Structure 1
Amino acid sequence: MNREELKSFLDAKVKEYNRADFITNDPVSIPHEYTKKQDIEIAGLMAAVFAWGQRKTIINKSREFLTLMDHAPHEFVLTHSEKDLKSFLDFKHRTFNSVDALYFVHFFRWFYRQHESLEEAFVGSLDADAHMEARLTNFFNLFFSLPDHPERTYKHIPNPSRKSACKRINMFLRWMVRKDEAGVDFGIWKTMSPHQLICPCDLHVDRVARKLGLIRRKQTDWQTAIELTENLRKLDHNDPVKYDFALFGLGVEEKF
C-alpha cells in the first residue's frame, strides 16, 4: 500500500474500533466508572499500570484495587488511616505486590495534598512544546522523589531512559489527553496536545505495525515507539495516536 491507501485503510479501521462499545472490554472501562477528575486520574493510572496480560484479568484486578479504596480513590488517598492500609497487604497482580501498592497510595497522598491534578506531575516546569520523553522522565523522577521509595517499584513506572517503550504510560496519557467524539478517551488534560502523544506499542500494535511497514526497527523500545508515531503523524499530524485503535483492533479482533 502507498501512503494514501494506508491512510484510507487505517482511517476506516479507526471508525470501526474507536467506538463507545470498545470501552466495556478494555482497561479504559475502569476510569470510566468515575466522574470526578482526580478519581479518573488515579483509576486510569492504576488500570494502565496493571495492563499486563489478558484484558479481563486487568479489569478485575483494577476493580479489586479500587475496592480497597472504597471506590473513592481521591478521597481515600487524602483521608485514609494506617488501619485502612492493612487491606492492601494481600494484594497482588503479576509482579505488582503489596510493597508497590502501599507506595502508590503513599505517593498519591503526598502529591494530591499539594496539587489539584496528576497532569502537573507530567508538566512540572517544562515548556508546552516539551517532548514526551522529557515529560515521562519528569514523572518518573517525581514519582520516586520520596525518600522511602522502594526500588522494586521502578518496574511499574516505565521510563524512556531505561529503554522502555513505555506502552502502559503512553496508553494512560492517550486516555487523559486525547478526546474523541466516541467518548472513549477523556481529554481532561489540556496542557498537552494530542499531537505530542506517543503511540502505545504493545504486542498486537507492534506486530500489525511491522506488517504494514510502520516499524522497521528490529527491537521494541522507546525509539520503536517514536518511529511508529512519526510514521502515524504522516497520516494524521494532529491526532496520530487515534491509529492505536486501528492497529490494536486489527491485531486482537482480526488477527491481522
Structure 2
Amino acid sequence: MKGDIAAIKALLDDRVEKYNQPAFIPNDPVSIPHRFTRKQDIEISGFFASILAWGQRKTIINNCLKLMELMDNAPYDFILNHREQDLTRFLGFKHRTFNDTDLLYLLHFFRWYYQQHESLETAFTGEQNQIKTQKERLEYFHNLVFSLEDAPHRTRKHISTPAHKSACKRLNMYLRWMVRHDTKGVDFGIWHTLQPADLVCPCDVHVERVARRLGLITRKGMDWQTAEELTDHLRAFDPLDPVKYDYALFGLGVEGKF
C-alpha cells in the first residue's frame, strides 16, 4: 500500500469514521474534559489531561480524575477563588515525573492568566491573533507560561516547544480537542480563532509507526519537522481538517496491523 495514495486515503478515511465516535471517549484522556460543560473548565481540565497523557491510559485517566477531585471538580472556580491553605491538598501529587512543584506552578499561572483573560485560546494566538503558525503559537505559549518570575526550571520539560525540536505531541493533541469541530462529539471545537486547517498532527508512538509504514513520514527521528512533514501529507487528503487522521493512524496502531 505504501505509495498508493488513493488506497492510503481510503484506509484512513475508513478508520476516521470508525474511531472518531463517542465510543472513543471513555477510555481516552479526552474523557476528562468531557466531564464539564463550562468553557473554562473544559480548557483547564483538558490542558491537564493532555499534559499528563503519557503512560498507560488507565493510569492517566485515574490520576486526572484525582486531580479534578482535588480541584473540587470545578477547576475554573477553584483556580480563581482558592485560598493559600487550599493548595496544601496538592502536596504529594505525582504522575510519572510530573510532581507537586509542577502542578502548583501551573495552578499559579492559570490564576494569573484567567484573572486577565476569558479563554486560554489567546495564550496561543496572542491578544490580536498576531501569532500565525502552529510552531510560533506553541513557542509563544511556552514563553508565556514561564514568563512569571517564580517559574521553576524543572517544569519547563512538561510544556514542550518546537524551539527545543520537540514534536509537541501532547499540546498538539490538546489543540485538536479545543479547535476541531464536527458532528461526532469527541473534539470540542470551542475555540474559533484557530481553525482545524491550522493544526499539526499529534505524533505518539502508534501514529509514528503507522505513518512511517504508509510512507507519510520519511524523516529520521521524531521532532517538530517530522510532525510538520506528516501533517503536510495529511493535508493532501483533507486540507481543511488534516488532523482528523490522527484518529485513523492511532487506531491502526492500536489494532496492531501496522
Class of the TM-score when normalised by the shorter of the 2 chains: over 0.9
Q: Quick one: which amino acid aligns to residue 224 of structure 1?
A: T
Q: Quick one: which amino acid aligns to residue 237 of structure 1?
A: P
C-alpha distance in 1, partners of 2:190/2:94? 30
State the Cα distance separating 1:254 from its structure 2 match.
Answer: 3.6
Q: Which residue of 1 aligns with 2:155?
A: 153
**8 Å Cα contact 1:128/1:191 also seen in 2:** no
Q: Which residue of 1 aligns with 2:36?
A: 34
Q: Which residue of 2 aligns with 1:114?
A: 116
- Aligned partner of residue 172 in structure 1, secondary structure: helix
Q: Quick one: which amino acid aligns to residue 90 of structure 2?
A: F
Cα deviation per residue 1:208-247 (whole Å; 9 max; x = unaligned)? 0000000000110101100000000011100000000000
**8 Å Cα contact 2:122/2:129 also seen in 1:** no
Q: Which residue of 1 aligns with 2:62?
A: 60
Corresponding position: 1:238 with 2:240: yes
Q: Which residue of 1 aligns with 2:77?
A: 75
Q: Over aligned residues, Cα RMSD in angstroms?
A: 1.1
Cα deviation per residue 1:148-184 (whole Å; 9 max; x = unaligned)? 0001000110000001000000000000000121100
- Aligned partner of residue 238 in structure 2, secondary structure: coil
Equivalences, count: 256
For 1:1-256, list aligned pairs within 5 A: 1=1, 2-125=4-127, 127=129, 130-256=132-258
**8 Å Cα contact 2:201/2:227 also seen in 1:** yes
In the alignment, structure 1 segments of 5+ residues that lack a partner are none
C-alpha distance in 2, partners of 1:143/1:151? 12
Q: Quick one: which amino acid aligns to residue 102 of structure 1?
A: L
- Over the matched positions of the two proteins, sequence identity in percent amounts to 62
- Aligned partner of residue 94 in structure 2, secondary structure: coil
Would you identify which runs of 4 or more consecutive aligned residues in structure 1 move more than 3 Å?
125-129
**8 Å Cα contact 2:32/2:64 also seen in 1:** yes
C-alpha distance in 1, partners of 2:22/2:154? 37
Cα deviation per residue 1:81-110 (whole Å; 9 max; x = unaligned)? 111000111100000001001001000100
Q: Which moved more, 1:126-135 or 1:45-54?
A: 126-135
**8 Å Cα contact 1:215/1:228 also seen in 2:** yes
State the Cα distance separating 1:127 from its structure 2 match.
Answer: 4.5
Could you state the TM-score of these two structures normalised by the residue count of structure 1? Answer: 0.98
C-alpha distance in 1, partners of 2:255/2:83? 44
- Aligned partner of residue 217 in structure 1, secondary structure: coil
Could you state the TM-score of these two structures normalised by the residue count of structure 2? Answer: 0.97
- Aligned partner of residue 84 in structure 1, secondary structure: helix
